[in-house]
Structure 1
Amino acid sequence: MAGRKALILAGTGMLAGIAENLTREGWHVVLPCRRYHPLDTEVRPGAAALRSLRRPGHRPYRGGPGRARPDGKATWVEAHWDRPRELAAKAEAALRGQADLLVAWIHEEYRRSVMGAVEGLLAHGAPVVEVRNAFGGVDLPDPLLPSHPTQVVQLGTVSAHDAHRCLAQAEIGEGVSDAVRRAIEGHPTSTHQVGQLRPLVR
């Protein structure tokens, strides 16, 4: 996966775990959002200099082949959902090429305008993972970019394990991670339910 590029559209920190996993696997991840959220895998200015500082008597350690650092990186750009064309322009500059993957969790009010603005940044046939919040009806949502194979993650309102407990961020992250893996592996468009749409009737 080295050299691949991913565009992640979500609220600040909402999909940070996904970004970190992709970066560790060598992806260049671009995250346009309103506020900065630090990632463990980011390459920050001065990091190399700090790593070069060693306490007296320290002996440099050379790890084996399995310890090589990945060449992935994460890039944050300040952007706002209500300025979709500006967001797309900033994302394009940060990507420096077409994106091989799009992961989007966007407020319904801005979903169509933002997704439409960034569609041109995607490589031909690039997979999409779209996270959708719960709807009142039983019909599952259709993908917004039909020319791209899409893994739709339909969020419920309560946990799949306990109908009396709200859907937790960890459960959401696990479901989105699974959808991202399916997208990267080239699976066709499908919908994945995470959590329950409504409490079970007992």
Structure 2
Amino acid sequence: MAELLAEGWDVIISSRHRVEITPASEQPEPSRPGAAARSALPPPGHWPTRESSRRTSRWVRADWTEPDLFASAVADALDGPAHLLVAWVHEPYRTAVLRAVAPLLDAATPVVEVYSSFAATPATGLPDPALTDHPTHRVVLGFVHTGSNRVPTHQEISAGVLAVIRRALGGEPPRVHEIGRPQP
């Protein structure tokens, strides 16, 4: 999410524990040819929410048991309608939480839902998107096969979800994306 801050997005993070995010542009980066030019260009699909030289990261406590209170806390943290929703909300709370925050989204807001590998089973498939009025890309976390099976690292998950965010913002049709492979 540091990349989104550096690109001009305001980011609201919800988790059980307070999270501080520093924009990627403020993190030391190894010097490479063209680094200054790359840092000056917005990525494809970039939608700044307002003119400002500094973007913010705000934390909201994630309490899925009270979806309406959670949505109220998110509304207090927002400066207007949200233009992107990235959600990794566990069952059985997913649908209620996402429907509670739906009124906070702009009409054309793309949604990226992240699921654990166990959310999709051969018998039932993947749950339907919770917000049918918004283009929803779904990300399934699988396993990385490197001689043995392991779950993706935080860095692999972040890079994969960020790639899906870019596709969603670029207007690609919604689909299911996998980070790793299905259950071993």
Q: Secondary structure at the match of 2:150?
A: coil
Task: Measure the CA separation in 2 of the matches of 1:133 and 1:75.
Answer: 25
Alignment partner of 2:66 out of 72, 76, 83: 83
TM-score, normalised on structure 1? 0.70
> Measured at CA, do residues 70 and 167 of structure 1 come closer, stay the same or move farther in structure 2, by a change above 3 Å?
farther
Q: CA deviation at 1:80?
A: 1.1
Aligned-pair identity in percent equals 39
**Aligned equivalents of 1:79 and 1:176: distance in 2?**
19
Alignment of 1:48-87 (within 5 A): 66=40, 70-87=53-70
Give the gaps of 5 or more residues in structure 1: 1-18, 43-64
Q: Which residue of 78, 94, 97 corresponds with 2:80?
A: 97
State the partner residue of 1:112: 95
Quote the offset at 1:177 in angstroms. 1.0
* 2: CA distance, partners of 1:117 / 1:24: 28
Report whether the alignment pairs 1:146 with 2:120.
Answer: no
Distance (Å, rounded) in 2 between the aligned partners of 1:165 and 1:134: 13
145, 158, 169: which one aligns with 1:173:
158
TM-score relative to the length of structure 2: 0.76
Shift of 1:99: 0.2
Q: Secondary structure at the match of 2:19?
A: coil
The equivalent of 2:146 in structure 1 is 162
2:20–2:57 CA contact under 8 A, matched in 1: no
One-letter amino acid matched to 1:99:
A
How far apart in 2 are the matches of 1:100 and 1:36? Answer: 23
Q: Counterparts of 2:134 and 2:14 in 1: how far apart (Å)?
A: 21
Asked if structure 2 preserves the Cα contact closer than 8 Å seen for 1:112 and 1:144, the reply is yes
The amino acid that maps onto 1:87 is: F
Could you tell me which residue of structure 1 aligns to residue 16 of structure 2?
A: 34
**Secondary structure of 1:91's aligned partner:** helix
Considering only aligned residues, what root-mean-square deviation do their CA atoms show, in Å? 2.4
1:147-178 per-residue CA deviation (whole Å, 9 max, x = no partner) reads: 1111100111x20x426131222222221111
SS of residue matched to 1:86: helix
1:25·1:70 contact (CA, 8 Å) conserved in 2?
A: no
Distance 1:117 1:131 in 2: 17
CA contact (8 A) 1:127 1:184 kept: yes
Rounded to whole Å, the distance in 2 between the matches of 1:192 and 1:166 is 18
Aligned 8 A contact 1:100 1:126 in 2: yes
Deviation at 1:70, TM superposition (A): 4.3
Q: CA deviation at 1:77?
A: 2.2
Report the count of equivalent residues: 157
Find the aligned partners of 2:4 and 2:175 in 1 and give their Cα distance.
21
| Contact 1:79/1:86, CA 8 A, preserved across alignment | no
C-alpha separation between the residues in 2 aligned to 1:153 and 1:70?
A: 31
3-state SS of 1:39 partner: coil
Assess if the C-alpha contact under 8 Å between 1:163 and 1:196 holds in 2. Answer: no
Q: Aligned partner of 1:173: which letter? A: S
Structure 2: gaps of 5 or more residues: 25-38, 41-51
The code of the aligned residue for 1:154 comes to V
